[in-house]
Amino acid sequence: MYVSTCLYLSRTFAGGMRKVVVYSTQNCPYCRMAKAFLEKHGVTYESVDVGNDAVQAQKMVELSGQRGVPVIGIDSEVIVGFDAQRLNELFGEPLKSESSDVLIIGAGPAGLTAAVYCARKMLSTVIISENIGGQALESWAIENYMGYRMVSGEELMKKFDEQVRKEDIRFVLDRVIALEKKDGLFVAETISENTLKAKTVILAQGNKPRKIGVPKEDEYLGRGLSVCSTCDGPLYRGKKVAIAGGGNSALQTAVEMSGIAKTVDLIVRSDIRADPVYVDRLHEKSNLNVHLQTNITALHGDKFLTGISIETKNGVERDLELDGLFIEIGWLPNTGFLDGFVELNEHKEIVIDINCHTNIEGVFAAGDVTSIKGKQIIIAAGEGAKAALEAHEYLMKQ
């Protein structure tokens, strides 16, 4: 089924109206964010659902060289992924330079919760993030968040976002690349060359996907290799895929993809370490093969991934013919821009005390980017609330 939605919003640019087409899938959170960005800036676009239309999916692949969404065509330019920097360059407006009480870096469960608490304390609050929802967006199903028997990560984060939108909170879609304290204010520089200033900062930028560490990994990203199964899964309907990982996310992805793909191979480096409920579901699938104590040693293909090599701990090697590989082997902290600014532990996580304080006065941190052991949505949300209350107390003492 081909879904075409034209939004009759108008905005004229130099040279006239631009033709904008967004290729997306129904459950892709980054596709929704791309559309929300265009709508916010009054840009007319056509939406094409490539998850339900193989012809349009092939057209997208030929246009972009990518087997992943979103893909955005703007006249003769093609943007792959939700590229906040490029979209800001094309359609954004310069940021105002005034300072705020609180700058929250990251818009996942911790950042969004912190924002609501800050706003309710009547603090002027700015959130800056490349996406809204963080890594929680990529969960197929969440069954341990209070108040919901089962909810997808995208649906839950949409509820968070809706609550935040009701408050007087300013959103900036951008990526922070540097943070310092200057003249009594914290100053954040972004990849889009914007500057944001605040009296206090809450770091809640979460994690980024861990790589498997084999040659050509970056080359095949979006060309058969994916780190977002909820986004790209529908493009592999009836095809052969593999999932790398042995935790909850990997097993969830394997189970969901078994209902979409022809076959699914689960590649686990050691042993399965997921909750029993996911293990039980795994064993119910007849088209799903599990390879324990197995490493991926090579990726094969020309323009697109066509197979992988695997090796067991006993040295047995074999090749698997595949159309797609989904990486679910964990996450790494997004702290590259903080090295030398706040204290990090050996895992590059932000070191905090029980009340979300970093070693820098006025800088707080919450969620999966911190040294807190539990990496759960409900814990991140609670830590975000704590960080906001501590930031408020800090400002009241100034």
pLDDT tens, residue by residue, 151-200: 888 889 989 989 998 999 998 888 899 999 999 999 999 988 889 999 99
CA dist 250 to 88, 173, 308, Å? 34, 29, 18
- pLDDT per residue over 338-354, tens digit each? 989 999 999 999 999 99
Domain with CATH 3.50.50.60 in the chain: 100-208+331-397, 217-327
Of the pLDDT bands very low, low, confident and very high (cuts 50, 70, 90), residue 82 is confident
Evaluate the CA torsion angle 12, 59, 78, 69 in order and state its sign. positive
Q: Is the pLDDT of residue 3 over 70?
A: no
Which DSSP letter does residue 95 get?
P
Cβ neighbours for 325, distance < 8 A, ≥ 6 positions apart: 220, 224, 225, 226, 241, 242, 243, 244, 296, 299, 305, 308
Task: Name residue 72's beta-bridge partners.
Answer: 22, 79
Q: Is the pLDDT of residue 92 over 90?
A: no
Question: Residues 25, 234, 140, CA angle at the centre, nearest 5°?
Answer: 85
Concerning whether 228 is annotated as a catalytic residue, the answer is yes
Predicted pLDDT at 4: 31
Give, in words, the CATH class of 217-327.
alpha beta
- In CATH terms, the fold of domain 4-91 is Glutaredoxin (3.40.30)
Task: Name residue 327's beta-bridge partners.
Answer: 244
174 exposure class (CB count in 10 Å sphere: 0-12, 13-18, 19+): buried
Q: Is the pLDDT of residue 20 over 80?
A: yes
User: Please, where are the H alpha helices in 144-244?
Assistant: 153-165, 217-220, 229-232
Concerning whether 6 is annotated as a catalytic residue, the answer is no
Token digits for 172?
Answer: 């900036």
191 exposure class (CB count in 10 Å sphere: 0-12, 13-18, 19+): middle
Q: Is the pLDDT of residue 268 over 90?
A: yes
Of the pLDDT bands very low, low, confident and very high (cuts 50, 70, 90), residue 93 is confident
Cβ neighbours for 171, distance < 8 A, ≥ 6 positions apart: 107, 126, 127, 128, 129, 132
Q: What is the mean pLDDT of residues 201-227?
A: 94
Q: What is the mean pLDDT of residues 195-212?
A: 95
Least confident range of 32-41, 125-134, 306-315, 386-395? 32-41
Superfamily the domain 100-208+331-397 falls into: FAD/NAD(P)-binding domain (3.50.50.60)
Q: List the catalytic residue out of 31, 49, 174, 232.
A: 232
Residue pair 191/95 in contact by the 8 Å Cβ criterion: no
Q: List the catalytic residue out of 174, 231, 265, 356.
A: 231
Query: What is the average pLDDT score of the chain?
Result: 91
Q: What is the dihedral of CA 310, 315, 316, 321, to 10 degrees?
A: 10
Least confident range of 7-21, 48-62, 69-83, 323-337? 7-21
Domain with CATH 3.40.30.10 in the chain: 4-91
Cβ neighbours for 362, distance < 8 A, ≥ 6 positions apart: 181, 186, 199, 200, 201, 394
Nearest in space to 171 (alpha carbons), one of 109, 110, 129 = 129
- For the beta carbon of residue 317, count every other beta carbon within 10 angstroms: 10
Coil, strand, or helix at residue 18?
A: coil
Q: List the catalytic residue out of 174, 228, 356, 368.
A: 228
Q: Is the pLDDT of residue 15 over 50?
A: no
The percent of residues above 70 in pLDDT, for the chain, comes to 95
Concerning whether 118 is annotated as a catalytic residue, the answer is no
